[in-house]
Amino acid sequence: MRDAMLERQNWNHLCLTFDPKIENNPWKLFKLAFLHWSVLRKRLIYHYGDIKYIQCWEIHHSGLPHCHVALQNEKLFHTLSTDHIRNFHNYVREHAVASSFGENGTIEALRDKVAFAGYLNKLAAELTGNPSKAYQIPVNAPPNFRRIRASWRLLPPVIKNKDYTGELCGIDDQGEICPLAELDSEGKKKRAVMDDGPRPGSLPRSEQTQALSLFPSALSILE
């Protein structure tokens, strides 16, 4: 988020709330938030021009979520005063209420992009109780709800290292690291993995019969 915000100018901080008199179920609010934001984003673009955004959520002590948005828009940036509450009433409230957000909120021009990017990262970690980007569902949100949303391709892609596959490994009885699936319960490599020769079933039928001649019960399977 820090890199994305440093690459662009004219960032604003928009805070959106919900009216508990209309809906006070956090799960439902999270579920509807995507639709509400889609409507509001289109209204803001219509009135103020193109925007880029990074969106995160915070849980109020009442248990209800409210939304923090880093909003890039040149017109708003040069129009907003230092009174963030009055700014919201003058420029955003009408559109927020029409989009089913609450009538209370704030918006201000950002003077320190780096600090705000750090704040969004902090919120993202607190929201799930897990700082890992791999887990993004807020603890009281419905499945598939992401703690961080942003404009298309605004954030850099996740860095992936092909040397790390995520496969579980263990140490065998010889002290060698190998995939866990190849070890038995005693930490020894399973016979099919240890043998360098042909796997069971790959020998000609006559050789299989000869190899299994010591086990009459096994011969009955082949015959």
The pLDDT tens digits of the residues spanning 63-102 come to 788 899 999 999 999 999 889 999 999 999 999 999 999 9
Predicted confidence (pLDDT) at residue 40 exceeds the cutoff of 90: yes
**Measured distance CA(222)–CA(205) in Å, rounded:** 9
Give domain status of residue 10, yes or no.
yes
pLDDT at residue 48 above 90?
yes
In a domain, 222, yes or no: no
Residue 13 maps to a domain: yes
Is position 190 within any domain? yes
Local confidence band at 206 (pLDDT 50, 70, 90 cut-offs): low
Percent of the chain with pLDDT over 70: 66
Higher pLDDT, 93 or 141: 93
Q: What is the CATH number of the domain that holds 58?
A: 3.40.1310
Count: domains in the chain: 2
Q: Could you tell me if 187 and 127 lie in one domain?
A: no
What is the per-residue pLDDT for 109? 95
Mean of per-residue pLDDT scores for the chain? 77
- Kindly state whether residue 155 falls inside one of the protein's structural domains: no
Q: Is the pLDDT of residue 194 over 70?
A: no
111 and 31: one domain?
yes
Token pair for residue 9?
A: 């100018």
Residue 174 has pLDDT above 90, yes or no: no
Q: Is residue 188 part of a domain?
A: yes
CA–CA dist 141, 28 (Å, integer): 8
**Residue-by-residue DSSP string for 153-194:** TTSPPPP--TT-----EEE-TTS-EEEGGGB-TTSPBPHHHH
Shared-domain flag, residues 119 and 192? no
Tell me the mean pLDDT in the region 25-46.
90
- Given this model, what pLDDT does residue 145 score? 65
- 112 shares a domain with 181: no
Q: Which domain holds residue 52?
A: 2-150
Within this chain, do residues 176 and 89 fall inside the same structural domain, yes or no?
no
Based on the domain organization, do 180 and 145 belong to the same domain? no
Strand order in the sheet with 148-150: 105-109, 11-16, 65-72, 52-59, 148-150
Share of the chain above pLDDT 90, in %: 34
Mean pLDDT along residues 110-139: 68
Residue 187 sits in the same domain as residue 101 = no
205: tokens are: 């039928």
